[in-house]
Structure 1
Amino acid sequence: MSWLSSVRKGIQSLTKRQSVDTLWHKCKKCESMVFTKEWEDNGYVCPRCDHHDRVGPAVRFDALFDRKKYEVLPSPEVREDPLKFRDTKRYTDRIKAARTSTGERDALINALGKIEGHSAVVGVQDFSFMGGSMGVAVGAAFVAGVEKAIAKQSPYILFTAAGGARMQEGILSLMQMPRTTVALAKLREAGLPYIVVLTDPTTGGVTASYAMLGDVQIAEPGALIGFAGQRVIEQTIREKLPEGFQRAEYLLEHGMIDMVVHRNALKDRIGRLIAYLAPEKNKAKKAA
């Protein structure tokens, strides 16, 4: 075989592998192979078993805001690595790696736009950024999002996805729990709704604070929602937990959340909730 034939064969093999990886998506739940475009067009939801894959802020904003038009709000500047933490890696190195892989400054991103014609500030936690963990930067971004909502007389809508508090920031991460609660008290004083969409997974200190304080609690199908892990609970109470424990449908059945909504129906449902919960604000804006 000549060197030219070898090169041609190598290129063809590489192109074929890339095409297969690009064209097909394997569902993590049912393991069906579906066209990537079909999966993406369906909101990154498996068309076979309805499994909702995890998505980041950009996908959320595009799906939620009218005509995909929105303004990403700047993330507040905070002191990084306040405890000079190091485990197997330096905390600063972990932050840099997360920023490189996601393109975001931290795990919570806010944007301002319109949903079904209604102005709204939307925050999205990115699980790809250090497990969406709640640290000082996340707390500051949450407060900034609430303050922007108050300034714009708009509701604040939050999509949660987190493994809990950020261990590298110790007690400072736990302090974000009361901090965000105080911010929500100001939002309610302004007469503005706070809508939470619980996505997979929402656990730990996030669940124990702002994730469960919404005026309306929505969850995506199959989302894992809880505080401690199932194995930890079973070892503590020495009992076997029910099937589907800590999943969205179980929580809905037991009154922990208000509704489970398919991702493709979220925009319409949230738009109707805004119109119902803040009608005076919407009328005032239209009159202006």
Structure 2
Amino acid sequence: MVDKNPNEKRVGWLSRIAPGVRKIVSRRNDTPDNLWVKDPDSGEMLYRPDLEAALWVTPSGRHMRINAEQRLKSTFDKGRYAAIETPDVPEDPLKFSDGKPYRDRLNAARKAAGRKDAMAIGYGEIQGVYAVVLVQDFSFMGGSLGTAAGEAFIAAAREAIGRGVPLVCFTAAGGARMQEGALSLMQMARSTLAVNELKAARLPYVVVLTDPTTGGVTASYAMLGDIHLAEPGALIGFAGARVIESTIREKLPEGFQRAEYLQAKGMVDRVVARADLPKVLGQVLGMLMDGRRTAA
């Protein structure tokens, strides 16, 4: 028996008796790999378009993390807003490396998140009330607070002051960015001064605490709002529960540092489901503005 040409492409038996099958099978990669998302609570596989329509809230009630663009679109009326550019800052000022250069980590994070840093700013209407909205994107290096995030916060506050409108801040962070050392810690004080500028201008500052809001962000602008809203189940605190337990040598209460527990203790004014946030924000901003006209 003579062997076939080794360079000839082999075909399966099914393709030989039904040539059209091969063409159909080759299209299997047209189906997106991420069409299904696993519910972190129930383990159930959720159809991604349905989850997106539900604003990434699972049937079990888990408010999954969303990126800055999704947050801005779901907050502003009809999803329309004007994006405001965040300021540029010096990169890798300390020439830091923790086994991998900080500059390389920044480039990888930018490629993964599709943005230059953790903050995004938008301007538009929320239930007819004009506002500047600042969103902290946890998908960018855990939403960590660095010089870029600090500059973005100041820029958003001054944009609100210049337009005579409220500032709404959606927080989500693991804390300060260690690769920038003391420079990241300085942003706590700088953002606090920016909040004081808003108060001096008699403009509302409303904070929406999302999962997770921790560390230096909680210790600064996340807790300086006129009103504090939170999404259901959001983790909110400074140090982690295990650190606290090992320090005080006591078992913490059930649900400690979760939004509902903090509302009961007076740290959060109201826990609001994601779908209801635009309506509640519109009511709160309208009340705080007390009928004052805002710039278009």
Which residue number in structure 2 is paired with residue 29 of structure 1? Answer: 41
Give percent identity, aligned residues only.
51
Matched residue SS, 2:286: helix
Which residue number in structure 1 is paired with residue 97 of structure 2? Answer: 86
Q: How many residues align?
A: 281
Which residue number in structure 2 is paired with residue 11 of structure 1? Answer: 26
How big is the alpha-carbon RMSD for the aligned residues of Structure 1 and Structure 2? 1.8
CA deviation after TM superposition for structure 1 residue 71, in Å:
1.1
Question: Structure 1-normalised TM-score?
Answer: 0.93
Q: C-alpha offsets along residues 164-223 of structure 1, whole Å, 9 cap, x if unaligned? A: 000000000000011011111010111100000000000000000000111000000000
Structure 1 stretches lacking a partner, 5+ long: none
Q: Greater Rg, structure 1 or structure 2? A: 2
Matched residue SS, 2:197: helix
Cα distance in 1 between the residues matched to 2:24 and 2:49: 28
In structure 2, give the amino acid aligned to 1:30.
S
Cα distance in 2 between the residues matched to 1:146 and 1:225: 23
Cα distance in 1 between the residues matched to 2:295 and 2:258: 39
CA contact (8 A) 2:119 2:152 kept: yes
Q: How does 1:146-225 map to 2 (within 5 A)?
A: 146-225=157-236
In structure 2, give the amino acid aligned to 1:11.
S
CA contact (8 A) 2:173 2:213 kept: yes
Matched residue SS, 1:269: helix
Cα distance in 1 between the residues matched to 2:49 and 2:69: 17
Which residue number in structure 2 is paired with residue 254 of structure 1? Answer: 265
Q: C-alpha offsets along residues 122-154 of structure 1, whole Å, 9 cap, x if unaligned? A: 000010100000000000000000000000000
Counting helix residues as a fraction of each chain, which structure ranks higher? 1
Structure 1 window deviating more from structure 2 (63-72 vs 5-14): it is 5-14
In structure 2, give the amino acid aligned to 1:229.
G
Which residue number in structure 2 is paired with residue 123 of structure 1? Answer: 134
Question: Structure 2-normalised TM-score?
Answer: 0.90
User: Structure 1 239/22 Cα, relative in aligned 2: closer, same or farther at 3 Å?
Assistant: same
Cα distance in 2 between the residues matched to 1:10 and 1:258: 55
CA contact (8 A) 1:153 1:281 kept: no
Cα distance in 1 between the residues matched to 2:143 and 2:76: 22
Cα distance in 2 between the residues matched to 1:285 and 1:137: 27
Tell me, yes or no, if structure 1 residue 107 matches structure 2 residue 118.
yes
CA contact (8 A) 2:165 2:295 kept: no
Provide runs of 4+ in structure 1 moved above 3 Å. Answer: 4-10, 12-15
Structure 2 stretches lacking a partner, 5+ long: 1-8, 16-20
